Amino acid sequence: MQGTTAQPTSPPAAYTPTDRTVPTRSADRASYDKDLVHAILDAAYVCHLGFVRDGAPVVLPTLYGRVGERLYVHGSTGARPLRMTGQADPGLPVCLTVTHVDGLVLARSAFHHSINYRSVVVHGIAHQVTDPEEKRAALDALVDHVVPGRSADSRPANKKELAATMVIRLDLDQVSAKLRTGGANDEPEDLDLPHWAGVVPLRAAYGAPLPNGDLAPGTELPSYLAAL
């Protein structure tokens, strides 16, 4: 900045790469841009949460929510990964990964077949959320992650439900995104082969909402669902 007066500092626009977040392969596909990371996280429904149990890895799909630079995962107080983040212990090392498959990449050579994708990998220590305000906000974020605005149009959790639900927090700190876009990258000597090459795009498509059979008469489809 060339200005001579102090500027208001905005938060850094990128995560700092670390040994854990710089990939060993295709490092040119990696990004640490916060806006990109947030966009990838917010557009998916399920993450894959990895933790270590008895020395072996476990990877489970689960819902999640984001509030700023914090991710939240919830579950029953009886669920294994949540139990493992006891309030008194130093937290649970986790790896939380979100992936969108955007296209099938068909090359002339078998070797160069690939997938177009956007993924985010978050490393860190998950901690149990004990503050009641933070827990409520996290549960709202989890519901709003399924459909934005939905938490305001549903019955909030009552005392019993709150007690039965454990929420864990993972800070966005050791984070990287990785993307592949574009067509097939064949070897120059393969370009004249007769095999078709290119991309078959893939996206998530919504079907028409299916109302519950026990819906109270006269309950209309909310506009935020009709717009999906």
Subset of residues 101 to 140 that bind its own copies, contact rule: CB under 8 A: 101, 103-104, 106-111, 113-115, 117, 119, 121, 123, 139-140
Q: Is 227 in the site for its own copies (CB under 8 A)?
A: no
Apex 113 CA angle, 108 and 116, nearest 5: 125
Under the criterion CB under 8 A, does residue 148 sit at the interface with its own copies? no
Rule CB under 8 A: is residue 192 a binding residue for its own copies?
Answer: yes
Q: Which stretch binds its own copies (CB under 8 A): 6-14, 18-26, 27-35, 127-135?
A: 18-26
Q: Which residues pair with 50 in a beta bridge?
A: 59, 95
Task: Considering the complex, state which of residue 7 and residue 192 has its C-beta at the smaller distance from its own copies.
Answer: 192
- Interface with its own copies by CB under 8 A: which range of 5-13, 28-36, 98-106, 127-135? 98-106
Least Å distance, CB 11 to its own copies, is 26
30 scored as a contact of its own copies (CB under 8 A): no
Q: How many residues bind its own copies (CB under 8 A)?
A: 97
Nearer to its own copies, 5 or 158 (CB): 158
Classify residue 8 by its DSSP letter: P
Q: What is the DSSP letter of 5?
A: S
According to DSSP, residue 125 is labeled E
Using the rule CB under 8 A, which residue among 1, 6, 191, 227 binds its own copies? 191
> Is position 201 an interface residue for its own copies (rule: CB under 8 A)?
yes
Q: What contacts 24+ positions apart, CB below 8 Å, involve 142-151?
A: 142/63, 142/64, 142/65, 142/72, 142/74, 143/65, 144/65, 145/42, 145/45, 145/63, 145/64, 145/65, 145/66, 146/45, 146/63, 147/224, 147/225, 147/228, 148/224, 149/224, 150/224
Nearest to 142 by CA among 215, 75, 95, 190: 75
**Residue 169 beta carbon to its own copies: minimum distance, rounded to whole angstroms:** 17
Q: Name which of residues 36 to 75 contact its own copies (CB under 8 A).
A: 45-46, 48-52, 55-61, 63, 75
Q: How far is CA 172 from CA 39, 95, 103, 179, in A?
A: 13, 11, 27, 18
Nearer to its own copies, 10 or 19 (CB): 19
Our CB check for its own copies shows the closer of 13 and 76 to be: 76
Nearer to its own copies by C-beta: 34 or 60?
A: 60
State which residue, 69 or 144, has the beta carbon closest to its own copies.
144
Q: Is 219 one of the binding residues for its own copies (CB under 8 A)? A: yes
Closest CA to 99 of 215, 209, 178: 178
Residue 57: C-alpha distances to residues 25, 95, 96 (Å): 22, 10, 13
